[in-house]
Amino acid sequence: MSTLRFFALKESLSRLPIIISENKKRSELFGKHVFKKDAMQQVLSHEAFQAVEDAINTGAKIDRLMADSIAAGMKQWALELGATHYTHWFQPLTGATAEKHDAFFEQTPEGNAIEKFEGAKLVQQEPDASSFPHGGIRNTFEARGYTAWDPTSPAFILDTTLCIPTVFVSYTGEALDNKTPLLRALAAIDHSATEVAKYFNKSVNKVTATLGWEQEYFLIDSALAASRPDIMQTGRALLGHAPAKGQQLDDHYFGSIPARALNFMKDLEQQCMLLGIPVKTRHNEVAPNQFELAPIFEEANLAVDHNSLIMDLMDRIAERHNLKVLFHEKPFAGVNGSGKHNNWSLATDTGVNLLSPGTTPMKNLQFLTFFVNTIKAVQDNEELIRASVASASNDHRLGAHEAPPAIMSVFIGKQLTAVLDELEKVTDGKLSPQEKTDLKLNVVGKIPEILLDNTDRNRTSSFAFTGNKFEFRAVGSTTNCAKPMVVLNTIVAKQLKDFKNEVDKLVDKKKMKKDDAIFNVLREYIKASKKIRFEGDGYSAAWQKEALKRKLSNHSSTPEALNIQLDKRSIAVFEEMAVMNSIELKARHDIELEEYIKRIQIESRVLGNIAKNHIIPTAIRYQNLLIKNVEGLKNIFAKDYENLAQEQLALITQISEYIGTINKDINAMVDARKSANKLDVKERAVNYKNEVLPFFDTIRYASDKLELLVEDKLWPLAKNRELLSLS
């Protein structure tokens, strides 16, 4: 194994950057492999093109004859670009994407070959539903599930395969994927937000949720990664002493991008351009070998698809560059972990960002309406927000002093806090002309000026307003963006629905003017949502105490965070907004608990295997060298050898103690796993967290101490200092 480490180091140090030429402008490449409007117009009839447009814009169904026409045009376009196969590309509840490729190839009765692709194959297919996570929705013998075309996300060509984004549902109609509930949540926010936006502009007919994600990741040499069984099997280094130089000097952040990483990025960005993924930003992140890329904002469903696609692309392209991408939220101890900040906003079909102030008091009142309702939604559903980012890997990151804590809070800045404080003083009932004028001119009217200097970020806030959007910072780097976006859009849709009902009631029953009614309702929401707003340091002991006083949840682990999914009130919200029913929610709860258990179970097994088969034998080998040295000193110096060999004897003792600790804790960890596996899923998850996971730290501590004691040339695992150095 130590031979493998040094072979990997030699390979790593001899790598040369794979040069990527950039001959074409991004604008010339963008969307070339996407079946978007210009491509459709070239191969579809006017009627077929209009059918797709209607399906995208209004959700209209496409009939069979029209589907055949669309499929024929799509096939023609794909074949011209070298496609040989097609697939329904979907996002099951594994956290990854799924695809089954079928060739366009068919045989005629005469035995000749033709390329064939019909509307039935475009619109619907039938993969095995029981083989994906389903949380009990399907029995093993009930295999039928359906993928169905999502025309709102355009088809694309990856390598030689036409990929058709689809939803994935069971035979009985329940969602078995991440996309289906997302589409439902986006329909809910569209309806609720449009109804409220009409208070300010009657011509608004559609509101779109937008998303801009920021993907953080690590790059390490593929040969070094291959020498680490823990990295290859779990995505993180379960062992390894922190390097002497990590991120203390802050010299990696926004620094010059290493040549190998830069050429990987160039290659990735060219593929993104072809696939219509509007990546714009790239830079070094805080930790060594950590990087980030971010696209321009897109419609949320398309943005989620693009993030899922880009993670797959990154894995593929990294191989070409002899690199491995690590998406794990905390792949290395002692340095920053990785997040996937979700920047969320709402935009109207009239071109207005509803979370951006305007040029008039009325436009600013519109901004305040959506701004305050979003805060109120988070306030009332902060546990659901926490649950949407819960995972075994993100538990390592949240609260780790480079990410928000597990306590959910909203940061809006001092200036906007002052605005809300003023609005809180609004008179109950009808406003006097003077009060309304003062509010509009001196409070609401000055919001654009205030926001000019109010776009700072609070790194310790999970949900921060950053000028014209909310940044959901607690999302982990491995998370499918659909999960937090389903929750956020659902709760805001519900909140806006309630807001409209309250305003309409004041207008109809109390005969208030619309502005008065809006101010009155917003005033109550501002009061009710004060406890979620926090401007200070989220890591401070004072905030921990204050959050407890405010009765905010502090779920530090996934098992406790997920409990809220089965709460009656949570189920009622999702059912009222027609996003998920109780069966789907229960299934997701069970799936996520099972995944949590399996992640820790796998890591536990890998950790035990490495420690017993690599660390302990290496330590004993070095200990034997020390013993041989002591025996030699004794033979030469007789009685005086103990003075001369005292350091060696101390090392021998230390090594024995650490070996004993590792062996004892591995055995105890295995016993804890066996005991936990006898319990039901909920108790098992808690048991894995409380009884199995703590052994990771004690085994790691002893192993990392041995790494410092054992001679370097004997150590079998690539060390963190080597993994975090990309030449």
Q: Do residues 260 and 123 both lie within one domain? A: no
392 contacts 688 by C-beta, under 8 angstroms: no
> What is the rounded CA–CA span in Å between residue 308 and residue 485?
14
> Does 11 reside within a domain?
no
182 contacts 301 by C-beta, under 8 angstroms: yes
Residue 191, pLDDT score: 98
Q: Do residues 492 and 634 both lie within one domain? A: no
Residue 371, pLDDT score: 97
> What is the rounded CA–CA span in Å between residue 513 and residue 510?
9
> Does 638 reside within a domain?
yes
Tell me the C-alpha to C-alpha distance, in Å, between residue 308 and each of 94, 273, 319, 478, 717: 12, 15, 18, 10, 31
**Single-letter amino acid, residue 586:** K
232-265 burial: b if 16+ Cβ within 10 Å, else e: eebbbbbbbbebeebbeeeebeeeebbebbebbb
> What is the rounded CA–CA span in Å between residue 522 and residue 366?
11
Q: Do residues 408 and 532 both lie within one domain? A: yes
Q: What are residue 342's phi and psi, to 5 degrees?
A: -105, 110
User: Using 50, 70 and 90 to split pLDDT, how confident is the model at 459?
Assistant: low
Taking only the tens place, the pLDDT of each residue in 580-618 is 999 999 999 999 999 999 999 999 999 999 999 999 999
User: Using 50, 70 and 90 to split pLDDT, how confident is the model at 13?
Assistant: confident
Residue 727, pLDDT score: 67
Domain span including residue 708: 595-724
Three-class SS of residue 337?
coil
CATH number at residue 525: 3.30.590.10
Q: Do residues 626 and 657 both lie within one domain? A: yes
CA 276 from chain centre, in angstroms, equals 20
Asked if pLDDT for residue 456 goes beyond 70, the answer is no
* End-of-domain residue from the set 119, 142, 176: 176
> Does 667 reside within a domain?
yes
Q: Considering only 85-94, 452-461, 544-553, 660-669, which range has the smallest mean pLDDT? A: 452-461
CATH number at residue 606: 1.20.120.1560
Q: Considering only 290-294, 315-319, 413-417, which range has the smallest mean pLDDT? A: 413-417
559 contacts 686 by C-beta, under 8 angstroms: yes
Residue 173, pLDDT score: 84
Q: Do residues 702 and 661 both lie within one domain? A: yes
Region of 638 on the Ramachandran plot (φ > 0 left; ψ -120 to 50 alpha; else beta): left
Q: Considering only 148-157, 190-199, 307-316, 632-641, which range has the smallest mean pLDDT? A: 632-641
> Does 110 reside within a domain?
yes
Cα-based angle 313, 314, 320 (whole degrees, multiple of 5): 95
Instruction: Collect all residues with Cβ–Cβ distance below 8 Å to 423 and sequence separation of at least 6.
Output: 368, 439, 443, 519, 522, 523, 526
User: Using 50, 70 and 90 to split pLDDT, how confident is the model at 454?
Assistant: low
Q: Considering only 196-200, 253-257, 331-335, 626-630, which range has the smallest mean pLDDT? A: 253-257
Residue 445, pLDDT score: 78
Q: Considering only 108-122, 343-357, 526-540, 649-663, which range has the smallest mean pLDDT? A: 108-122
**Percentage with pLDDT > 70 across the chain:** 97
Residue 661, pLDDT score: 97
Question: Which token pair is 703?
Answer: 């192993």
Q: Do residues 570 and 606 both lie within one domain? A: no
Q: Do residues 243 and 316 both lie within one domain? A: yes
Tell me the C-alpha to C-alpha distance, in Å, between residue 725 and each of 288, 337, 338, 549, 717: 7, 16, 17, 45, 15
Asked if pLDDT for residue 112 goes beyond 80, the answer is no
Q: In 155-299, which residue ranges form alpha helices assigned H by DSSP?
A: 179-197, 222-226, 229-234, 259-274
Residue 95: exposure state from Cβ atoms within 10 A (0-12, 13-18, ≥19): middle
Cα-based angle 405, 457, 560 (whole degrees, multiple of 5): 20
> What is the rounded CA–CA span in Å between residue 87 and residue 101?
5
Cα-based angle 165, 579, 342 (whole degrees, multiple of 5): 65
Cα-based angle 271, 273, 279 (whole degrees, multiple of 5): 100
* End-of-domain residue from the set 176, 195, 227: 176
The total number of residues shown for the chain amounts to 727
Q: What are residue 133's phi and psi, to 5 degrees?
A: -55, 130
> Does 436 reside within a domain?
yes
The chain-wide mean pLDDT, for the chain, equals 91
Residue 645, pLDDT score: 87
Instruction: Collect all residues with Cβ–Cβ distance below 8 Å to 635 and sequence separation of at least 6.
Output: none
Residue 463: exposure state from Cβ atoms within 10 A (0-12, 13-18, ≥19): buried
Q: Considering only 126-130, 352-356, 510-514, 644-648, which range has the smallest mean pLDDT? A: 126-130
Three-class SS of residue 434?
helix
Q: Of 256 and 704, which is predicted with more confidence?
A: 704
CATH number at residue 169: 3.10.20.70
> Does 510 reside within a domain?
yes
Q: Considering only 238-242, 444-448, 465-469, 618-622, which range has the smallest mean pLDDT? A: 444-448
Range 150-159 average pLDDT:
95
563 contacts 553 by C-beta, under 8 angstroms: no
- C-beta atoms surrounding 589 within 10 Å: 19
Q: In 64-127, which residue ranges form alpha helices assigned H by DSSP?
A: 64-80, 119-123
Tell me the C-alpha to C-alpha distance, in Å, between residue 478 and each of 24, 329, 474, 609, 670: 32, 7, 12, 25, 27
Q: How many domains does the chain have?
A: 3
Asked if pLDDT for residue 457 goes beyond 70, the answer is no
Residue 640, pLDDT score: 84
**Percentage with pLDDT > 90 across the chain:** 70
User: Using 50, 70 and 90 to split pLDDT, how confident is the model at 114?
Assistant: confident
Range 507-529 average pLDDT:
93
Residue 420, pLDDT score: 93
Q: Do residues 527 and 386 both lie within one domain? A: yes
Q: Do residues 536 and 614 both lie within one domain? A: no
12 contacts 225 by C-beta, under 8 angstroms: no
> Does 651 reside within a domain?
yes
Residue 670, pLDDT score: 97
Per DSSP (E only), the strands in 278-322 are: 279-284, 290-295, 298-299
Place of tokens 């008039």: 360
* End-of-domain residue from the set 580, 612, 637: 580
Q: Do residues 456 and 567 both lie within one domain? A: yes
> What is the rounded CA–CA span in Å between residue 695 and residue 679?
19
> Does 159 reside within a domain?
yes
Q: Do residues 527 and 640 both lie within one domain? A: no
User: Using 50, 70 and 90 to split pLDDT, how confident is the model at 348?
Assistant: very high
What distance separates the 2 farthest-apart alpha carbons in the chain?
105
Q: Do residues 243 and 268 both lie within one domain? A: yes
Range 562-569 average pLDDT:
96
Taking only the tens place, the pLDDT of each residue in 401-430 is 667 888 999 999 888 998 999 899 888 888
Asked if pLDDT for residue 710 goes beyond 60, the answer is yes
